Each structure stands twice: as C-alpha cells, then as structure tokens.
Amino acid sequence: VKASTAYMNQKSLVNTVRLGKVFATCDIYIIYLLHPSGELDRTLIIPSHLVKQEYLNIGKDSKYNIYQDRWDYLTEYGRFMQELIV
C-alpha cells in the first residue's frame, strides 16, 4: 500500500510514488493518490508484474488510470490463492 500527495509540476498536479524496487516483492500495489488538500483523489490497484520501475509519476492523464478502482483484481487474486490452499 502506497500513498502520495499531489504537487504542482509545471502546470499540472502530479503524484509521485516510490515503489522501491524494479522487481516487486508484492503481488498487487494499492496506491492512494491524494489531492494537495489531503483528500483522496483516486485509488489505483495495479498488478505489480506490470510495473518494472522504482518510481511512478502519475498525472491527470496517466496510462495507469486504467487501474483506477480495480478492486476486482484483489477478488480474483483471493480466489487464486484459495485454490492453491484447497
């Protein structure tokens, strides 16, 4: 789980998230993007195998917006893990 408060970068608001490693040690990133006021702007649910970098810079028109509120990824992942146990 990561959180980032937006800041002005030239003429637009941008969130920067440090992931820490190019090759993730988690399966899914849950990223809370906050408005400068501190209120929640967006939540991104991103499968970590799709991100191969240490930092994400997320603006209004980010390619990562397709992962906004994709809570279904967690449901699917939970089912997958349950099948491994049974």
**pLDDT tens digits for range 61-85:** 999 999 999 999 999 988 988 888 8
Q: What is the pTM of this model?
A: 0.86
Q: Which pLDDT tens digit goes with each residue over 13-60?
A: 999 999 888 887 788 999 999 999 999 999 999 999 998 889 999 999
> Which among 11, 15, 74, 9 is positioned nearest to 40, based on CA atoms?
15
Q: Which pLDDT tens digit goes with each residue over 2-18?
A: 999 999 988 899 999 99
Can you point out the beta strands (E) in 1-86?
A: 2-5, 7-9, 12-18, 28-34, 40-47, 55-59
The one-letter amino acid code at 62 reads S
